[in-house]
């Protein structure tokens, strides 16, 4: 949900536990990714690879049973399984420490749904885009006002709820929604309550996060509009998440990219990610590239 310098972390402040070894399946084993040697061959030889997560649903988190799951860990499991690596373990660190910990050799891959930005590309290597994060609105069921864009909100003079620190407030302002129509809340649940209690007609966030809100509140009389990419001053504000590797680890990244593309093309990616609120709208098209996003274009 961001301009080139903004991060998803600005609005998703899910709780992050102290650094610890968490495992997707089987018994936990310690040890990071290591910076020396060939990490792909090391992973194939040991059958194990370590990834980093940030404890943020639905991207990468630990569920009530203690199992690490989420969109990114589950996609990583599928991709690495095809590479002959069946044991994917996870270390949880604070979101803003993921790339430093990666480069320090604590793990070999960041599997946290991290957005591709020019600043991050200076410090690590991103996979091909894993998913897009279109903007959407949480609206009353049936969407009686027919809201689909920020321009609709402005024209219809509707109240809009946004998250504190999130980019949607900026989008709204730049697309003509006056401050008098914008209410700021601290949590996703507060956005839901604002719509349910009619303090605001709609709430803006990524469709991924809003789908997750609806899934967790099945009785709520709300729905999520179709995702869209805001266009501001002629520039599409595209937001795409990806996996992250150390810059020298090109063989590992390239092999992973091959398997990730297979998951996208076969429909398996959608099967894996649908339980976490992802839809076909989140599949990245061919013209959204890591190179362009790293360049800020």
pLDDT tens for residues 2-28? 333 334 444 343 333 434 445 444 333
Please list, in sequence order, all residues whose beta carbon lies within 8 angstroms of the beta carbon of residue 77, skipping any fewer than 6 positions away: 24, 25, 88
pLDDT tens-digit profile of 228-246? 999 999 989 898 999 999 9
**How far, rounded to the nearest angstrom, does the alpha carbon of residue 145 sit from its chain's CA centroid?**
29
Residue pointed to by tokens 């310098």:
5
Cis geometry, peptide bond prior to residue 58 (ω within 30 degrees of 0): yes
Name the pairing type of β-strands 87-92 and 48-53.
Answer: parallel
Q: Over 132-177, what HEC string results? A: ECCEEEEEECCCCCCCCCHHHHHHHCCCEEEECCCCHHHHHHHCCC
H or E element at residue 115: strand 109-115
At residue 36, the pLDDT reads 54
Alpha carbons 201 and 148: distance in angstroms, whole number: 12
Give the pLDDT score at 89: 95
Calculate mean pLDDT across residues 291-295: 96
Instruction: Report strand pairing: 61-62 vs 125-126.
Output: unpaired
Torsion sign across C-alpha atoms 122, 128, 134, 138: negative
Beta carbons within 8 Å of 220's beta carbon, 6+ residues apart? 192, 196, 214
Roughly how many angstroms between the first and final C-alpha of the chain, as a whole number?
16
d(CA 68, CA 21): 10
Rounded CA-CA distance 135/50 in Å is 31
SS3 state at 231: strand
Q: Whole-prediction pTM value?
A: 0.77
Span 248-264, average pLDDT? 98
Burial of 19 per CB tally in 10 Å (0-12, 13-18, 19+)? middle
- Whole-angstrom distance, CA of residue 106 vs CA of residue 96: 14
Note the pLDDT of residue 57: 85
Question: pLDDT band at residue 125, thresholds of 50, 70 and 90?
Answer: very high
Q: Which domains are seen in the chain, by residue range?
A: 8-132+239-295 (3.40.190.10), 135-236 (3.40.190.10)
Q: Which residues contact 259 (CB under 8 A, 6 or more apart)?
A: 78, 79, 80, 82, 83
pLDDT in tens, 57-96: 899 999 999 999 999 999 999 999 999 999 999 999 998 8
């Amino acid at each position: 949900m961001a301009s080139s310098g903004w991060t998803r972390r600005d609005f998703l402040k899910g709780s992050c536990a102290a650094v610890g070894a968490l495992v997707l399946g089987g018994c936990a084993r310690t040890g990071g990714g290591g910076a020396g040697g060939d990490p792909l061959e090391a992973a194939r030889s040991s059958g194990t690879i370590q990834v980093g997560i940030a404890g943020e649903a639905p991207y990468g988190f630990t569920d009530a049973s203690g199992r690490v799951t989420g969109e990114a860990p589950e996609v990583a499991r599928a991709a690495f399984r095809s590479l002959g690596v069946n044991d994917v373990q996870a270390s949880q660190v604070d979101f803003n420490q993921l790339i430093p910990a990666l480069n320090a050799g604590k793990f070999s891959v960041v599997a946290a749904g991290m957005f591709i930005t020019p600043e991050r590309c200076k410090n690590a290597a991103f996979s091909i885009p894993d998913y897009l994060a279109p903007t959407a609105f949480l609206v009353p069921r049936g969407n009686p006002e027919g809201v689909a864009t920020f321009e609709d909100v402005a024209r219809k003079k509707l109240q809009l709820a946004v998250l504190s620190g999130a980019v949607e407030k900026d989008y709204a302002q730049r697309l003509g929604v006056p401050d008098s129509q914008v209410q700021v809340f601290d949590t996703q649940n507060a956005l839901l309550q604002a719509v349910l209690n009619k303090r605001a007609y709609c709430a803006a966030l990524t469709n991924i996060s809003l789908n997750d809100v609806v899934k967790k509140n099945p009785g709520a009389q709300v729905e999520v509009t179709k995702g869209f990419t805001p266009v501001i001053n002629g520039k599409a504000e595209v937001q795409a998440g990806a996996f992250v590797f150390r810059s020298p680890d090109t063989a590992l990244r390239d092999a992973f990219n091959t398997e990730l593309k297979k998951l996208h093309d076969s429909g398996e990616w959608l099967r894996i990610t649908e339980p976490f609120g992802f839809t076909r709208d989140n599949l990245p098209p061919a013209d959204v590239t890591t190179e362009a996003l790293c360049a800020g274009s």
